[in-house]
């Protein structure tokens, strides 16, 4: 079967493929475009990453291609891996020599030997990623599909080329990749392949946390993240990788009173949020917003099931969770903590009369992240009662309008009190001390509570009043 690459898509006007073809023929190298790029070609998905496999030296071919592309290209050579990458404009073209691989039980790092195209396709994770299109002039555009990958694409099926137990035991990360592709592409995992993931799930423990979290991030960013997390749960991988999320599962009933199934609720929130946002860390916030519910769950005969302070406990759990998963320990983690800590605040405003003071404090605490927080809170409404959802959405609209009004009037978002600690110390002849902090905090609260406007003159006047209450008086000049 033959395909004209330029007819299917037009990467760089088709020139790299024709150019690689000419160079490969000149060097007498059988050469193919293979893997994810070919899969996406048939799925009509955009891809900027091209994998080239050649029966011979991939590095030599890459050097020749980079030379032909000229100064606009950038060549990176990885001798230890026998690969090279050419970056041209916004395209990444990776070259590798065809190879066969074998694995030791305790490592996913293979022993690599030179091989044929067949050997290279045998080592691929799934049939849909083993498709290859010839680039040599004599067979240009000919599809090499030894495992029926094209049929699997048409039938939305993820299946390994060879014995799935060997495939997953050799490289257990492929289990996560199977689930990620199912989540990204909307495919299903072939039953035999699925069963093999269940049998080999414990092998995931030899994979580095960095590799695992890379797949988790891709699942979170897929069109419907719940697909991936439900598959991880059903295969048993989730309990190994992310036990805190598994702990959300289940419903307990006492005195005929049950509570919401928090695992299903969490995935519903992530799915809703993903429809409007591709912000990875906001989506992580959604995934973790109720993470402390299992440890805060209590039953009260009057109140029923309660999860008091689950937002604050969740905020405290996040650094340890991020450390274990090898997620970043920086402002991204602090952002997720902030979202988890504050996610109840707008919802609580919906349940009571919206006061200016409460809105000011929310604006102050959320700062520039207030719009993200409101997105998360609106996604958190998962009631099956449409009237209740409409009521919450309408109340959120009122809260948003109030925020705009107060922000325009009081400039609260990310505000710094107009009286500094230095001015307080200088005015009253104080060293750094508790009274300085008390005065500064009192000024901030007075502004947030609407007692005084967010203006220096009013703040200075309030400073003198508070200092007098503390028995402090201006120093004599």
Asked if the model's pLDDT at residue 243 lies above 90, the reply is yes
- Under the banding of pLDDT at 50, 70 and 90, the label for residue 217 is very high
CATH of the domain at 191: 1.10.110.30
Asked if the model's pLDDT at residue 186 lies above 90, the reply is yes
The answer to whether residue 328 sits within a structural domain is no
Please give the average per-residue pLDDT across 260-283, as a whole number: 95
- Which residues lie closer than 8 Å to 447 by C-beta, 6 or more apart? 360, 410, 412, 415, 417, 453, 454, 459
Do 128 and 164 lie in a common domain? no
Q: Given this model, what pLDDT does residue 3 score? A: 54
Do 20 and 136 lie in a common domain? yes
Do 58 and 188 lie in a common domain? no
The answer to whether residue 166 sits within a structural domain is yes
Q: Given this model, what pLDDT does residue 11 score? A: 42
Q: Given this model, what pLDDT does residue 10 score? A: 40
Q: Are 176 and 204 in contact (CB under 8 A)?
A: yes
Do 137 and 160 lie in a common domain? no
The 10 Å Cβ neighbour count of residue 409 is 13
Q: Given this model, what pLDDT does residue 393 score? A: 84
CATH of the domain at 76: 3.30.460.10
Q: Are 360 and 453 in contact (CB under 8 A)?
A: no
The answer to whether residue 299 sits within a structural domain is no
Asked if the model's pLDDT at residue 400 lies above 70, the reply is yes
Q: Given this model, what pLDDT does residue 229 score? A: 98
Do 77 and 127 lie in a common domain? yes
Do 83 and 119 lie in a common domain? yes
The answer to whether residue 213 sits within a structural domain is yes
Do 136 and 205 lie in a common domain? no
Mean pLDDT check: name the lowest of 138-142, 212-216, 312-316: 138-142
Longest pairwise C-alpha distance within the chain:
96
Over residues 428-464, the pLDDT tens digits come to 888 888 988 888 888 888 888 888 888 888 888 888 8
Mean pLDDT of all residues in the chain? 88
Q: Given this model, what pLDDT does residue 13 score? A: 41
Q: Given this model, what pLDDT does residue 352 score? A: 59
The answer to whether residue 127 sits within a structural domain is yes
Range of the domain at 438: 421-469
Do 40 and 119 lie in a common domain? yes
Do 146 and 164 lie in a common domain? no
Q: Given this model, what pLDDT does residue 133 score? A: 93
Asked if the model's pLDDT at residue 52 lies above 90, the reply is yes
Q: Given this model, what pLDDT does residue 428 score? A: 86
**Domain termination site, one of 152, 176, 197:** 152
Position with higher pLDDT, 394 vs 412: 394
Asked if the model's pLDDT at residue 315 lies above 90, the reply is yes
Do 47 and 133 lie in a common domain? yes
**Domain termination site, one of 241, 274, 300:** 241
Over residues 346-395, the pLDDT tens digits come to 877 765 567 778 888 888 888 889 999 999 999 998 877 888 888 888 88
Long-range contact pairs involving 416-425 (C-beta distance under 8 Å, separation at least 24): 417/443, 417/444, 417/447, 417/459, 418/443, 418/454, 418/455, 418/456, 418/459, 418/460, 419/443, 419/456, 419/459, 419/460, 419/463, 423/460, 423/463, 424/463, 424/467
The answer to whether residue 179 sits within a structural domain is yes
- Under the banding of pLDDT at 50, 70 and 90, the label for residue 307 is confident
Asked if the model's pLDDT at residue 41 lies above 80, the reply is yes
Do 30 and 129 lie in a common domain? yes
The answer to whether residue 370 sits within a structural domain is no
Instruction: Provide the domain count of the chain.
Output: 3
Residues above pLDDT 70, as percent of the chain: 92
**Domain termination site, one of 209, 241, 273:** 241
The answer to whether residue 278 sits within a structural domain is no
* Residue 84: half-sphere exposure toward Cβ, Cα within 13 Å: 19
Q: What is the pTM of this model?
A: 0.85
Do 70 and 186 lie in a common domain? no
Mean pLDDT check: name the lowest of 86-90, 204-208, 337-341, 447-451: 447-451
Round to whole Å and give the CA distance between 242 and 121. Answer: 32
- Under the banding of pLDDT at 50, 70 and 90, the label for residue 81 is confident
Instruction: Spell out the alpha helix ranges (H) of 70-172.
Output: 117-122, 149-154, 164-170
Q: Given this model, what pLDDT does residue 351 score? A: 59
Position with higher pLDDT, 275 vs 170: 275
Position with higher pLDDT, 414 vs 46: 46
Asked if the model's pLDDT at residue 321 lies above 80, the reply is yes
């Amino acid at each position: 079967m033959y395909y004209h690459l330029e007819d299917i898509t037009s990467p760089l006007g088709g020139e790299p493929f024709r150019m690689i073809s000419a160079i490969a023929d000149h060097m007498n190298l059988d050469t193919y475009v293979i893997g994810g790029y070919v899969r996406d070609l048939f799925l009509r998905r955009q891809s900027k990453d091209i994998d080239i496999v050649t029966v011979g030296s991939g590095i030599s071919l890459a050097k020749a291609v980079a030379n032909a592309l000229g100064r606009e290209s950038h060549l990176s050579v990885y001798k230890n891996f026998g690969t090279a990458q050419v970056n041209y404009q916004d395209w990444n073209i990776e070259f590798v020599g065809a190879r066969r691989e074998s694995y030791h039980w305790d490592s996913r790092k293979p022993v690599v030997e030179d091989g044929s195209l067949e050997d290279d396709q045998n080592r691929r994770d799934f049939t849909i990623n083993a498709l290859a299109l010839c680039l040599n002039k004599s067979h240009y555009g000919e599809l090499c599909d030894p495992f029926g990958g094209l049929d699997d694409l048409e039938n939305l099926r993820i299946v390994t080329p060879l014995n799935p137990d060997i495939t997953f035991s050799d490289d257990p990360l492929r289990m996560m990749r199977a689930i990620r592709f199912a989540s990204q592409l909307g495919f299903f995992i072939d039953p035999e392949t699925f069963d093999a993931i269940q049998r080999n799930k414990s092998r995931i423990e030899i994979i580095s946390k960095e590799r695992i979290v890379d797949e988790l991030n891709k699942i979170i960013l897929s069109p419907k993240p719940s697909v991936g997390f439900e598959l991880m749960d059903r295969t048993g991988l989730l309990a190994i990788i992310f036990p805190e999320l598994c702990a959300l599962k289940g419903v307990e009933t006492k005195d005929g009173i049950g509570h919401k199934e928090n695992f299903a609720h969490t995935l519903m929130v992530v799915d809703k949020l993903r429809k409007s946002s591709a912000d990875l860390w906001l989506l992580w916030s959604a995934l973790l917003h109720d993470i402390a519910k299992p440890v805060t769950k209590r039953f009260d005969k009057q109140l029923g099931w309660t999860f008091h302070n689950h937002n604050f406990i969740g905020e405290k759990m996040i650094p340890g969770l991020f450390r274990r998963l090898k997620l970043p320990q920086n402002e991204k983690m602090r952002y997720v903590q902030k979202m988890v800590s504050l996610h109840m605040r707008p919802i609580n405003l919906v349940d009571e009369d919206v006061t200016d003071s409460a809105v000011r404090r929310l604006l102050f605490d959320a700062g520039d992240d207030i719009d993200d927080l409101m997105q998360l809170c609106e996604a958190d409404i998962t009631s099956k009662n449409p009237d209740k959802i409409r009521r919450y959405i309408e109340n959120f609209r009122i809260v948003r309008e109030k925020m705009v009004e107060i922000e325009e009037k009081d400039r609260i978002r990310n505000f710094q009190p107009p009286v500094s600690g230095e001015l307080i110390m200088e005015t009253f002849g104080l060293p750094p001390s508790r009274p300085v902090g008390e005065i500064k905090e009192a000024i901030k609260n007075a502004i947030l509570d609407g007692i005084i406007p967010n203006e220096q003159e009013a703040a200075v006047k309030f400073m003198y009043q508070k200092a007098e209450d503390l028995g402090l008086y201006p120093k004599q000049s």
